[in-house]
Amino acid sequence: MNNIFSSKETFKEALRAEVSARFGRDLEDAYDEERYLALGALIRDHAGNSWKLTKKSVRANGTKQLYYFSMEFLMGRLMVNNLMNMGIYDVVRDGLADLGLDIHNLEELECDAGLGNGGLGRLAACFLDSLASLNLAGNGNCIRYHYGLFKQEIVNDEQVEKPDCWLRLGNVWEVWKPQHAVQVKFGGTLDAYMDQFGHFHSHHNPAFVVRAVPYDVPIVGYNTPTTNTLRLWDAEVDEESVQAGVLNKYLNDVQALTANVYPDDSTYEGKELRLKQEYFFVCAGVDQLIHNHLRVYGSLDNLAEKTAIQLNDTHPVLVIPELMRVLMDDYDYDWDQAWDIVTRTVAYTNHTIMAEALERWPQEMMRSLLPRVYMIIEEIERRFHYEVQHAGKEHMFPAMSILSNNQVNMANLAVVGSHSVNGVAKIHSEILINDVMASFASFYPGRFNNKTNGVTHRRWLVYSNPQLTELLKKYIGDSFIKHPEDLEKLMAYVDDPKLQEEFFEVKLERKKILAAYVKEHLGIEVDVNTIFDCQSKRLHAYKRQLMNIFHIMYLYLRMKQDPNYRITPTTYFFSAKAAPGYALAKEIIKLIVKVANRINGDPQVSQYMKVVFIPNYSVSIAELLINAADVSEQISTAGKEASGTGNMKYMMNGALTLGTLDGANVEIVDCVGFENAKIFGLKVEDIECIRRENSYDVWRIYHSNPKLRMVIDSLRNCTWSENPNEFQLIFNDLMLHKDEFFVLADFDAYLMAHADVSAWYADKPAWARAMLVNIAKSGYFSSDRTIREYAKEIWGLDEIKFTRQERLEAGCTVDDEEDAA
Ligand SMILES: *Cc1c(COP(=O)(O)O)cnc(C)c1O
């Protein structure tokens, strides 16, 4: 194959030809959008060759494959990532420059694929990058939502949700595969009967049938031919299945199925549409993997040996009964054989211990929407109950039952039907084992394990922070790109004044880039010589953005009272979306924006502090914000944040963690030492103790702490808004509903932690050293490490094999190390 990216000249020629063929124009006369679409098509087609090599190798060698089922994939943009991973970025940039085009302008035309809420969806995206880069056959399975979560705008100081039309220009990366469409059936009735041999049969007469049509997105690894697939399922009408007289309703129902991402990652109200979405992509994904397997092996007996399924949280848990259904009803396995195959194939990742976020569905809804699947769940429950009784553990059953209180408990179904259950950070897995799922952990010892999350250091360091990457290469070479643990080599230089100075220059450069964005889009001037203190993540009470803004309110009020009280100049950045129905979270955004307006407009105080709320937090905003940060705010109530991954991205770019001992913060301090982070506040044990003793008294704290009282009073005395009732929900949540997340309890410790950080910042060599240590120790938090652990300990995956010739054909470097391997 002749590789058009092998030289600038061939690339330019190909781009001209592509624009001409697609749009009937010369490149010079084309619109930027047309150039972008042509470029995207060339890159995608180039990935096609590696895609083919990967599929061939997997099939020829019988390589075990992973299917990662996730309701969310927060991919962000793919242009830079793909060009860099394929090693053709420079050729394309230089070729475009020859043509008088700036690659950055084309990059900016790509819409973020925001097919998710936040951390959970971004984890899935990081995992795909690591799987491909580590030569593992791992495919994503999700829904092709027509709209992303939502586009957040701030209007009159409040969040407004606009549609996120990410498909406006189409999606240059996807390939439509109508030939692989699958029928998905909902509702209706089930006829069950026994045949003359006593075998159970059922016939489903569905009320609603749609065609699931796949769109495949190639996922290219770093410097390897390995190219996996992210399969996004879209819903289309099934011509044969429309009942007379209801055509319009049918069309609407089909449309609604894949219209948008469910905009809430914390609670699940009984939303039938969401359950339909879950079954839709589960059913289609299972059908696909069964067919792939049969094509290669001709039998499903060895499914578990050749296929691993990972469930990213409980949203895809219907995989368990669905796979049972297919094995029994379509392929005549009996229950025990089918159950053995299913449980050896499926593994489950738990992402939350917050009771209100554990997914439950009304039994009646599940029974009427998915009659056969529900029947199988009942049988799973019956047999599991028998197993528990037989083991003499009946007393433990209520805590483990799948069906209770007229609900289907999806987490319990996930544990019963899989061979591995993992938490996402050490402390989270411990809480699962010792507390939330203690009964299961003792009933199934060995099933529970931990896999601490990670983020792909390629996107979050190498590609989004080229300035830092260049500096690192200068000191420690480029081996860390392939082997992130090599970042540790930087430890030899952390005291080097030259490196420290060069690092500050890089940080300053990144701050200038962020400041320019803020100036252009928000009209706010920020001083790049101030501390950049950042909190970016979904808006949620447990993440305590409220405590952050309270601290800022306190500093402002104090400076207004006392002209001699002045702080180290700091710019506070927030970026966060609130679920549209989450009134308290939206009120907190309003408070942040109103406080920002007041402070930024105050000439006395704004030289010392500014507050910036960047709307529409997304992967692209994160790529701009995180690498400019000095301080990373990770201040959740201890025990509530399962892991966090934002904390890892910040650390990788040198920001110091100002945080509680929660989630992966615990492991971050394990790596860098307490002297290279600022840890404060109540620990999990402290909070348990307060709860047990029922000793939390918000009014006592209010009356005994004048600083806090000043802040809380300011919510209702027209300091930030003319309307004294503007922040009533916040006030009530803290003072009348007893401050569930201990904002008041941790407030003083948080103030002191901030004061310590400011003092630390003044000592430039100490500060630089700490930042560099954070970078040096961040290799552990690469998702490459996480994926290696999953592959070895849960999935049993081996690497895809390529010949030297194939590697060369795919344009990869063939170095000595790989030859030896
Ligand atoms: C990393 C990331 C998150 C997760 O952030 P946490 O601080 O771990 O909650 C959410 N949204 C986006 C866009 C991200 O990139």
Contacts of 543 (CB under 8 A, 6+ apart): 537, 635, 636, 641
Q: From the CB of 668, is ligand 1 less than 6 Å away?
A: no
Residue 622 and residue 644: Cα distance in Å, rounded? 14
Residue 161 and residue 585: Cα distance in Å, rounded? 14
Contacts of 718 (CB under 8 A, 6+ apart): 724
Q: From the CB of 506, is ligand 1 less than 6 Å away?
A: no
- Residue type for 168, please? R
Among residues 351, 372, 544, 777, the one annotated as catalytic is 351
* Mean pLDDT across the chain: 96
E strands along 255-337, which residues? 307-312
Closest residue by Cα to atom 1, ligand 1, is: 646
Residue 19 has pLDDT above 60, yes or no: yes
HSE-CB at 614 with a 13 A cutoff on CA atoms is 29
Active site residue 537: yes
Residue 730 and residue 583: Cα distance in Å, rounded? 10
Residue 314 and residue 278: Cα distance in Å, rounded? 10
Residue 773 and residue 766: Cα distance in Å, rounded? 11
DSSP secondary structure letters along 632-672: EEE-PPTTT-S--SHHHHHHHTTPEEEE-S-TTHHHHHHHH
Active site residue 249: no
Residue 462 and residue 466: Cα distance in Å, rounded? 6
Q: 371 near 204, Cβ under 8 Å?
A: yes
For ligand 1, mutation pick of 77, 536, 643 (most atoms within 8 Å of CB) = 536
Stretch among 185-189, 293-297, 743-747, 808-812 having the lowest mean pLDDT: 808-812
Residue 269 has pLDDT above 70, yes or no: no
Residue 106 and residue 294: Cα distance in Å, rounded? 42
For ligand 1, mutation pick of 645, 781, 782 (most atoms within 8 Å of CB) = 645
Cα 644 to ligand 1 centroid, rounded to whole Å? 7
Q: 592 near 720, Cβ under 8 Å?
A: no
Buried b / exposed e across 160-189, counting CB within 10 Å, b at 16+?
ebeebebeeeebbbbbeeeebbbebbbeee
673: left (phi over 0), alpha (psi -120 to 50) or beta: left
Among residues 538, 640, 769, 777, the one annotated as catalytic is 538
For residue range 311-350, list pLDDT tens digits in order: 999 999 999 999 999 999 999 999 999 999 999 999 999 9
> Is the Cα dihedral 413, 416, 419, 424 positive or negative?
positive
Residue 223 has pLDDT above 90, yes or no: yes
User: Other CB atoms closer than 10 Å to residue 32's CB: what's the count?
Assistant: 13
User: Other CB atoms closer than 10 Å to residue 267's CB: what's the count?
Assistant: 13
Maximum distance among all alpha carbons in the chain? 93
DSSP secondary structure letters along 593-631: HHHHHHHHT-TTTTTTEEEEE-SS--HHHHHHHGGG-SE
559, 565, 570, 576 alpha-carbon torsion, rounded to 10°? -40
Q: What is the pLDDT of residue 204?
A: 92
Among residues 343, 352, 469, 645, the one annotated as catalytic is 645
Among residues 649, 754, 769, 777, the one annotated as catalytic is 649
Residue 293 and residue 59: Cα distance in Å, rounded? 10
Structure tokens at 279: 């079954």
What's the mean pLDDT in 602-619?
97
HSE-CB at 378 with a 13 A cutoff on CA atoms is 11
Q: What is the pLDDT of residue 262?
A: 85
Stretch among 356-360, 610-614, 674-678 having the lowest mean pLDDT: 356-360
Residue 289 and residue 67: Cα distance in Å, rounded? 8
Cα 783 to ligand 1 centroid, rounded to whole Å? 14
What's the mean pLDDT in 730-735?
98
Residues 168-172: contacts with CB under 8 Å, at least 24 apart: 168/111, 169/33, 169/36, 169/37, 169/109, 169/111, 170/37, 171/113, 171/215, 171/217, 172/36, 172/37, 172/40, 172/41, 172/43, 172/44, 172/110
Q: From the CB of 570, is ligand 1 less than 6 Å away?
A: no
For residue range 400-450, list pLDDT tens digits in order: 999 999 999 999 999 999 999 999 999 999 999 999 999 999 999 999 999
Residue 586 and residue 582: Cα distance in Å, rounded? 6
Residue 779 has pLDDT above 50, yes or no: yes
